[in-house]
A = this chain, B = another copy of it.
């Protein structure tokens, strides 16, 4: 099966209590593609970058089965740039700089060769762009998942509600779920969000794991207890990439398969945070992933006699 991923490919500058990098590859589609490429092939990427984006990054992803026909390169433009500083608890961060650069003119054209994609991930972007991508697909994919953030709830709620009505699954963190629904109780928030369109909902709770909702069923996935989170950047995108990459591979969207996919996504996120940017994701072997998934099994498994 083919997987379509749309999102940013960018540069980040990051500061955590453990160190600092001035310029490292980032972007939701970058993290998602690295994570998904462990499971799915081909991955058809949609994004926009400036002439400053390194050719080696494309080459490295190409080796993993990622296609770039849908990635627009603006030779005299600059790639999207984000700079942030994490606080000691790693749950809160300050945005220091946001330079949209070429992202400001992002109007993606889906190539004909992408029309076979049955699995689609809409990374966190302005909702109008997410809508445009779905409208360009001639046949409805088997599964469309999306990410979003509080920023779009503040400034583009109408468009956000429109795209929510077009997707199968939304993934947000707990504070975003509360803002979107106006409910403090996570269970009530989930019901309201499911009524807005997405049949499936994943609420990410950082170090407390994630909840998957579908009809009246709930699955609670643990997070791997970590001594240190080195850099949380990209953890959510790695989760999303692992989640949909796994589903693309097994080509099954039953609730049982989605539960497994949440664990795969959690495993990818747990690796992502071990080093700056996508560094750790790029090093992973199949054995690493298998070992980490087994850690999740040991962590969550119990039997009542």
Binding site for B on A (CB under 8 A): 88-89, 184-188, 190, 205, 207-209, 211, 217-223, 225-228, 250, 256-257, 259-260, 262-264, 293, 297-305
B residues less than 8 Å from A250 (CB atoms): 305
> Are A260 and B299 closer than 8 Å at their CB atoms?
no
Given the known interface contacts A302-B260, A302-B263, the answer about A220 and B209 at a Cβ–Cβ threshold of 8 Å is yes
Contact A300/B184 with A225-B211, A250-B305 known, Cβ cut-off 8 Å = no
A300 contacts which of B186, B228, B302, B305 (Cβ < 8 Å)?
Answer: B302
**Contact residue among B207, B219, B222, B303 (Cβ-Cβ distance under 8 Å from A260):** B303
Residues of B contacting A188 in the complex (Cβ-Cβ under 8 angstroms): 227
Is A208 a contact partner of B208 (Cβ separation < 8 A)? yes
A225 interface neighbour in B218, B227, B262, Cβ under 8 Å: B218
- CA separation between A299 and B221, bound complex, in Å? 8
Besides A208-B208, A260-B304, 17 new A-B residue pairs in contact (Cβ under 8 A), listed by A number: A185-B228, A186-B207, A186-B225, A187-B225, A190-B225, A205-B208, A209-B220, A218-B299, A219-B300, A219-B302, A220-B300, A256-B302, A256-B303, A257-B305, A260-B303, A297-B304, A300-B300
Query: Which B residue's beta carbon lies closest to that of A186?
Result: B225
Taking each of A188, A208, A219, which has the highest tally of chain B beta carbons within 10 Å of its own beta carbon? A208
Interface contact B89-A184, CB-CB below 8 Å: yes
Complex-state Cα separation, A299 to B89, whole angstroms: 28
Contacts of A293 in B (CB 8 A): 304
Q: When the two chains form their complex, are residues A221 and B260 in contact, meaning their CB atoms are under 8 A apart?
A: no
The chain B residue sitting closest to A226, CB to CB, is: B187
Q: By the criterion CB–CB under 8 Å, are B219 and A304 in contact?
A: no
- Chain B residue numbers with a CB within 8 Å of A186 are 207, 225
Q: A208-B205, A220-B209 are in contact. Are A302 and B259 (CB under 8 A)?
A: yes
A235 to B299, CA, bound (A): 23
User: Across the interface, which residues of B come within 8 angstroms of A297, CB to CB?
Assistant: 304
When C-beta atoms are compared, the residue in chain B nearest to A225 turns out to be: B187
The 10 closest A-B pairs by CB, nearest first: A220-B222, A208-B208, A259-B302, A187-B227, A260-B304, A187-B225, A220-B299, A300-B300, A218-B225, A185-B227
- Min CB–CB distance A206 → chain B (angstroms): 10
**A103: min CB distance to chain B, Å:** 35
B260 and A305 within 8 A (CB): yes
Residue of B nearest to A264 (CB): B304
**Chain B residues within an 8 Å CB radius of A264:** 304
Q: Which residue of B lies closest to A205 (CB)?
A: B208
Q: What's the minimum C-beta distance from A52 to chain B, rounded to whole angstroms?
A: 37
Complex: A260 Cα to B302 Cα, angstroms: 6
